Structure 1
Amino acid sequence: MKTYRNIQGVPDFIEKIFGEKASNYVVLIPIINEGDRIISELRRAKKHKISKLVDIVLCDGGSVDGCTDEGKIKNLDVNTLLIKEGTGRQGAQLRMGIWWALDRGYEGIITIDGNNKDSIEDIPKFISKLQEGYDFVQGSRFLRGGKAVRTPLSRLFAVKFLHAPIISLTAHKRFTDTTNAYRAYSSRYLLDSRVKPLRDCFNTYELLAYLSVRASQIGLNTCEVPVKRIYPRKGKLPTKISFFKGNMELIKILLMNALGKYNPREDSR
């Protein structure tokens, strides 16, 4: 176990490594109190031998529900557990994971939610596109070959008629499933001086919006791949976004992003 502190643009965090670096690619899974959902997702990953293709890393925001029990996650092929101690939400968890992954020398980073909605078995599609030279690969349930199952109508409307059009206009390229955190980034993209993802302004959902548009803005290669996103038949909706406050925050982030407010200062417009 090792503790990292006072790294610029990165929250303080604890590192627990269970295995050596075994791949050129890593999947970062941000979680907080995901309970059985993350365990089910990891079981699916093990069934499909995903750890043979990527190192699996959990980016924990401070779970207290036992979902990061070391015995469980080690048996499910988790390579490393990162535990955020500093402030911030999803954006801070991702910054922690991105810094750690780049420092460890991975060529590409894949991210996926830890609530068991996404088809983790589709990770080979992202690796293939990274190997072809793409720098940003967005997973989309709306492409031919993808699948959107039981998506709440409010979410469907927001993605298709609000989020995706604004992101596409900002990116100068059409994307169809822009709220989906299932995507991949090349290390070349994340290390580009025109990007600079390790900044404290990315605390909640700003980083996802920003990285969705920045690659095509600076002329890097981007694409989408079909994935599945399946909402549960019953029970509480697996999301961290509240209906009113959360969605208002997202709209504000979209507008700030469209105005270039998250671009590195020397390039902001």
Structure 2
Amino acid sequence: MCGGVRSGRLFRRCPVPSGNRNTAKDAMKILACAFAYNEGDKIRRTLARHPRTRNYDLMVMDDGSTDGSLDQVPEGVLVLRNPRNCGIGAAMKRVFAYALEQNYDVLVIQAGNDKDDPLEIPRLLAPILENRADFVQGSRFLPGGGYGNTPAYRILATRFLHPWLFSLAARKRVTESTNGFRAFRTTILRDPRVNWQQPWLNRYELEPYLLYKAIRLGYRHMEVPVTKVYPPHREGYTKMKPFSGWWSILRPVVYLLLGIKK
């Protein structure tokens, strides 16, 4: 089922082996989750890039893969799984519910198709651990960031069109509004004014919605430079469909700006 937001049971519970977690900054409980749907070897490459010693638990949220993607997930990684493909927003809702149930303080979101560099996670976490931010957005368009294998039309949309419209709606200038690579305090999810459980947020809508809400509600928002390199086209560099996918990521900005949705 795709309608609910309960996390349900873990498909596989494999806690970080003893000695692999860095306890120097363990005052906050952190969960990093990679999202996968038919990623094949890309999810293995994504997980292999995470350091063996880390200050966070690592999870894969599998959104109904049918290609054996879960066979690529090594021990030591938590796994949640949807029985069928429900959409990235619906998958995120399950992880949000799990993070709240397990009392995680911080959640890190990354793609499971090897686009994001896990070695940049400390850069996302630092402002939160140092109590300088509540929501840290990774931006490939800041100095020090970067992007590769990105089609020209996507650069136009993600660097100019969407950030411009988003900045107008949120009343704060941002350089990045579509990148899912981010970290934030789970207190944002507990805020009753953040209605992340709404059914219309089951696809690409949830990511810009959450960013918008964090900014407009006065949470401390910060951008840090990250890299985002798309895999070769032959491997399937994106799951987003033209037009329907673009509208899915754009409509939260339109709805929230016009007051159609909350």
TM-score category of the 2 structures, normalised to the smaller one: 0.7 to 0.9
Cα displacement (A) at 1:53? 1.7
Q: Give 1:88 deviation, angstroms.
A: 3.0
With structure 1 as the length reference, what TM-score do the two structures score? Answer: 0.85
Contact residue 210 and residue 262 of structure 1 kept, 8 A: no
Q: Per-residue CA shift, 1:25-54, capped at 9, x if unaligned?
A: 011212111001110111111xx33x6221
C-alpha distance in 1 between matches for 2:4 and 2:68:
28
* Deviations 1:123-180, CA, capped at 9 Å, x for gaps: 0112211113311110011111111123210000011221111111222212112111
3-state secondary structure, aligned to 1:68: helix
Cα distance change of structure 1 residues 209 and 261 upon mapping to structure 2, 3 Å threshold? farther
**Higher deviation after alignment, 184-193 or 102-111:** 184-193
Give the alignment of 1:71-220 within 5 angstroms. Answer: 72-75=72-75, 77-78=76-77, 80-85=78-83, 88-133=86-131, 134-220=133-219
Residue in 1 aligned with 2:47?
Answer: 42
State the AA in 2 paired with 1:25. Answer: I
User: Could you tell me whether the CA contact under 8 Å between 2:169 and 2:253 is conserved in 1?
Assistant: no
Contact 1:14 1:83 in 2 (8 A): no
- Note the 1:51-62 alignment, pairs <5 A: 52-62=54-64
Consecutive unaligned residues in structure 2, runs of 5 or more: none
- What code does the residue aligned with 1:19 have? P
Residues 186-210 of structure 1, C-alpha deviations (whole Å, 9 max, x = no match): 0121111211322323210111111
| Displacement of 1:233 | 4.6
**Alignment partner of 1:64 is 2:66:** yes
Equivalent position SS for 1:105: coil
SS at match of 1:41: helix
Equivalent in 15, 33, 38 of residue 38 of structure 2: 33
Identity across matched positions, percent: 33
Deviation at 1:262? Answer: 3.8
State yes or no: 1:252 paired with 2:251: yes
Structure 1 CA distance for aligned equivalents of residues 255 and 218 of structure 2: 21
Q: Write the deviation string for residues 41-80 of structure 1: whole angstroms up to 9, x where unpaired.
A: 11111xx33x6221111111111111112xx4234x31x1
Matched, 1:239 2:244: no
1:82 deviation in Å? Answer: 0.5
Structure 1 unaligned regions, length at least 5: 264-269
| Counterpart code for 2:44 | I
- CA shift at 1:12, angstroms? 6.8
Q: Which amino acid aligns with 2:33?
A: L
2:14 maps to which residue?
Answer: 18
Return the offset for 1:11.
Answer: 5.6
